[in-house]
Amino acid sequence: MTRGYLVHTFGCQMNEHDSERIAGLLEGDGYVEVTDQADADVVVLNTCCIRENADNKLYGTLGWLKPWKEQREGRQIVVAGCLAQKDRDLVRRKAPYVDVVLGTHNVHRTAELIDQARHSGPVTEILDEAVLDDQAMFPSALPARRETTYNAWVTIQIGCDNSCAFCIVPAVRGAEISRPFADVIAEVTRLASEGVSEVTLLGQNVNSYGRDLQVAARQAGDSDARLRPMFAELLAAVGNVDGIQRVRFTSPHPKDMRVETFAAMATTAAVCEHLHYPLQSGSDRLLAAMHRGYTAQRYLERLAAGRAVVADLAVSTDIIVGFPGETNDDFAATLEVVAAAEYDFAYTFIFSPRPGTEAAELTAQFVEPSIAAERFQRLRVVVEHSALRKHEARVGRIEEVLVEGPSKKDPSVLSGRTRQNKLVHFTPPQSLRAGAYASVEITRAAPHHLAGRFVELLAEPQHKRRIAVLAG
């Protein structure tokens, strides 16, 4: 009998991408996706420990999955992802009825471990590091079940060599490993041949892509290896793949932002004019405490260099408010940088300690929650003001919009994204399929979206059919 599965994802884009691979692996093994949990035989919880309250969310969900599992023989619960990697046996101790616990380095083993647990009982398999020379460690190298047909994520790197004091990623995803250049291009070429026109290159620190490959090449005797990142070359090569109209990437690290990358963005037509450029704090004192490797001035100088080279560059960022020890002066410095940077969008967070990180140990310096909340509100006002100004400047312009589908609030309205990654709502005179390109005149601006008037259809989607499972 066919078995049904459901994957619940808690977390970042990397996790969502891993979930696509888990779904692809299960479908390759004969499972079908179900929408109702009552029809599922396997529920996978793909966890993330970067987000706040991740453990409460996981153990809360496991609590209500216990009776679900007991209702029918053969049902299985799988816990995967960062939190599983970090908590390991704790997951089983807290929820002994979980069938499979697997970590971030063995996603490719999901289907096998489920099968193993069905026949031999519960299994926990956490690897401490990725298995080198095994391309299966790259989520993109695995079969996938993508949610959309016109865009795709492509993992170019896993892990992170930095040590930001607030971040658990290096502990759970390990050291940086770049995917071979030719493999990335081969995947993008295959995606383009299937009708994908937009790709997002994914990694924790994308702009240091390739440094490890160069070091390995040098060690293997290649004296021409240049020991510097190859991200700019990769960006240009991906953007020149036939059929690829848009290339995005996330996330770069400000300290590794190089002029070559801006040059590649400016000269490769497909690379979108959008840079996610995480600030975290505008205070040099806190940037040092966070181990970010740049000062506010250096950050702004590089941003100005990027804007000078890449015309019409939209910039988004991440900012943490209330990092341990943050004073009024530190926060004022952040507001100053935010005003100077003129962001189009910002993800703002109140600091919350992630167990296992350096910052979580700084309990004596934790900022009073009411002070952090008040600063957070002030920052939101400044950020929204900046975003609205940026959006208002686009009113009257004709923008290229990649259609995503009906708006969540009003199905008669379509939503899509501009090259600057701005959400645009518009009403087309004819029905347009997801993946089509349209030109839209911007008529109205709000802090988080734009509204516009359909001008013309630029291109129909290239995909002919829904792509259910990709070969690895």
CB of 166 to ligand SF4, least distance (A): 7
Of 114 and 167, the one with the shorter C-beta distance to ligand SF4 is 167
Instruction: Please confirm whether the linkage preceding 251 is cis (ω < 30° from 0).
Output: yes
368 CB-near residues (< 8 Å, 6+ apart): none
Q: Which segment (76-84, 157-165, 231-239, 350-358) binds ligand SF4 by CB under 6 A?
A: 157-165
Region for residue 359 given its phi and psi (left: phi exceeds 0; alpha: psi -120 to 50; beta: otherwise): alpha
Minimum distance of ligand SF4 from residue 293's CB (angstroms): 9
Contact status: 253 vs ligand SF4 (CB under 6 A): yes
Where does this chain touch ligand SF4 (CB under 6 A) — which range of 24-32, 165-173, 340-348, 456-464?
Answer: 165-173
In angstroms, how far is CA 89 from the centroid of its own chain? 27
72, exposed or middle or buried, with CB in 10 Å at 0-12, 13-18, 19+? exposed
Closest by CA to 138, choosing from 169, 178, 195, is: 178
Using CB under 6 A, which residues numbered 278 to 307 contact ligand SF4? none
Give me the phi and psi of 373, to 5 degrees please. -65, -40
Maximal CA-CA distance, the chain = 64
Whichever of 320 and 414 has its CB closer to ligand SF4, that residue is: 320
Give the torsion sign (CA, 80, 82, 83, 87): positive
Nearer to ligand SF4, 157 or 245 (CB): 157
Choose which of 40, 164, 387, 401 interacts with ligand SF4 (CB under 6 A).
Answer: 164
Instruction: Look up residue 194 and give its two tokens.
Output: 């299937």
Residue choice 37, 68, 118, 170 for contact with ligand SF4 (CB under 6 A)? 170
204 near ligand SF4, rule: CB under 6 A: yes
Please count the CA atoms within 13 angstroms of the CA of 21 that sit on its side-chain side. 27
Site for ligand SF4 in 329-388 (CB under 6 A): none
Binding characters for ligand SF4, 120-149, by CB under 6 A (x = yes): ------------------------------
Give the nearer residue to ligand SF4 in terms of CB position, either 110 or 357.
357
| Smallest distance from ligand SF4 to CB 255, Å | 9
**Closer Cβ to ligand SF4, 160 or 303, answer by number:** 160
Q: Read out DSSP for 220-281?
A: TT-TT---S--HHHHHHHHHTSTT--EEEEE---GGG--HHHHHHHHH-TTB-SEEE---B-
How many residues make contact with ligand SF4 (CB under 6 A)? 10
CB atoms within 10 A of CB 368: 9
Minimum CB separation of residue 179 from ligand SF4 in Å reads: 17
Stretch that binds ligand SF4, among 91-99, 155-163, 209-217, 388-396 (CB under 6 A): 155-163
CB of 314 to ligand SF4, least distance (A): 21
Write the burial class of residue 378 (CB in 10 Å: 0-12 exposed, 13-18 middle, 19+ buried): middle
Give the residue, chosen from 169, 177, 424, 438, that forms a contact with ligand SF4 under the rule CB under 6 A. 169
Nearer to ligand SF4 by Cβ, of 169 and 401: the residue is 169
Nearest approach in angstroms of CB 299 to ligand SF4 is 14
Which segment (66-74, 118-126, 166-174, 179-187) binds ligand SF4 by CB under 6 A?
166-174
Distances (CA, A) of 242 to 186, 189, 237, 273, 369: 12, 7, 10, 19, 51
Which residue(s) pair with 350 in the sheet?
A: 321
Q: Which of 43, 91, 160, 264 binds ligand SF4 (CB under 6 A)?
A: 160
Give 299-353 as a DSSP string.
HHHHHHHHHHHSTT-EEEEEEEES-TT--HHHHHHHHHHHHHHT-SEEEEEE--P
Of positions 61, 135, 162, 352, contacts ligand SF4 by CB under 6 A: 162
Distance of closest approach, residue 161 Cβ to ligand SF4, in angstroms? 8
Distance CA 110, CA 102 (A): 8
Q: Which of 141, 167, 372, 402 binds ligand SF4 (CB under 6 A)?
A: 167
Which residue ranges make up the site for ligand SF4 (CB under 6 A)? 160, 162-164, 167, 169-170, 204-205, 253
